Chain A
Amino acid sequence: MNKKGMMIGVIVVAIIAGIVASVSSSPTETVNLDMGRTHGTIITAMGSPILGNPDAPITIVEFGDYQCHQCYNWFHNTKPAIEQQYIETGKVNLVFVDLAFLGKDSPIAAQASYCAEDQKMYWEYHDLLYTSQESKIDNGWANSERLKAFAFSLGLDMDLFESCLDSGKYSKRVSFNTQQAKEHGVRGTPGFFIVNSDGQQQISGAQPFSVFKQILDPMI
């Protein structure tokens, strides 16, 4: 009876701890712990945490490369308006999935973003990479040392981050994501899928906000 009581106590404490943890985390950033997560036909389990309301009826799945200048253009010219009008209002959420193909530093940068996710700083790190992107591919701006410097500037635990990055802990995760992109016919970055309960629509390239608005508005 005592054992049973203890077991029930442990389960109750675990549930309470889970609820407290989920409430105390940022409302716009969740750590991706759902290994069965899919959006439409895309397996996004190995992608980023969800940006925005996890229960939003529409999801934008972005396939991107941290060294791609068109992804940089989309990040700076289109994404802010989407965030403001759709993500922050809870109508849409966004998942980033890597298509790291442009240079030798691309997969390492993608792995680094997941090392930041370990410390619940995925989106901060993602944003910092796209803010810091330089116009030349593989010129060293996204090499291992610079990626560690970015982590340091965000105040991440450097021992954890360095051991994660140096071990290549997330190399298979990035390869899986790149494979997902290829299987879904993504032939360049950025590539998008707008997914809702009725299906999914593909958009190729760093298209302007007006295109996303034309697709999203009828879905809402």
Chain B
Amino acid sequence: MIHTIKLVFSNSKYLVLSLIIFVVMMIGLLIMSEYIFLEPYVVSHIPSGTELGFVLIVIISALSALVLPMNIFRINILKSSKQKMGGGIFGSIIGAAAGACSCGPIGFAVISTFGSVGATATAFLTNYEIPIRIVAIAILTITYFTTVKSLKDECNINS
């Protein structure tokens, strides 16, 4: 497993890509979930009772930063099919969507635009924020292991 990670991230392009995905995704999700505010001052805080949500955002960002570059590596270097990329993207998107709506500007825009259908969708994403993020982590973890296995087989890596 470590050999596979080394294989991918020994190429600095994939390391930089991984860092960019992690930083952009984590900061974006922390802003959407109101852990970071940009106006009137840049400030971050973790309100009591929301610690679990914060930890799940960090885990999703880290897994996305691990899984997505590995899949891009497979496609670019090994010219593999793009099919297995889907799991990583899907996991990242549903992890990002959970709780992003709620009572913030995105939820307000969705409800204002789509009315009761938007309100139902927003309520679902808000009510099941934590379970949805856990499902996203599960999808990303499964995608990680299948990608490692695939890289091992295709690159003939031992152990």
- Chain A residues in the interface with B (C-beta under 8 A): 65, 68-71, 73, 76-77, 101-104, 135-139, 187-190, 201, 203-208, 210-211, 214-215
Chain B positions within 8 Å of A103 at CB level = 119, 123
Tell whether, in the assembled complex, residue B127 and residue A136 are in contact, meaning their CB atoms are under 8 Å apart.
yes
Q: Is B103's CB under 8 angstroms from A211's CB?
A: no
> B39's contact among A68, A69, A71, A204, by CB below 8 Å, is which?
A204
Chain A hits for B48, CB < 8 A: 76-77
> Which residue of chain A lies nearest to B111 when distances are taken between CB atoms in the complex?
A101
Contact with A along B22-44 (1 / 0, CB 8 A): 00000000000010010111010
CB atoms of B43 and A189 under 8 A apart: no
Contacts A69-B126, A102-B122 given; indicate if A205 touches B47 (C-beta within 8 A). no
Instruction: State the Cβ distance, A152 to closest chain B Cβ, in Å.
Output: 27
Given contacts A136-B123, A137-B122, 12 further A-B contacts (CB under 8 A): A69-B103, A76-B48, A102-B103, A103-B123, A137-B127, A139-B127, A188-B108, A189-B108, A190-B103, A204-B39, A208-B47, A210-B43
Q: Are B43 and A188 in contact (CB under 8 A)?
A: no
Give the distance in Å from the alpha carbon of A190 to the alpha carbon of B37 in the complex: 13
CA distance A122 to B37 in the complex (A): 31
Interface flag for B87 (CB, 8 Å): no
Given contacts A76-B48, A77-B48, contact A208 B103 (CB under 8 A): no
> In the assembled complex, which residues on chain B have CB atoms less than 8 Å from the CB atom of A190?
103
Q: Shortest beta-carbon distance, B21 to chain A, in Å?
A: 25
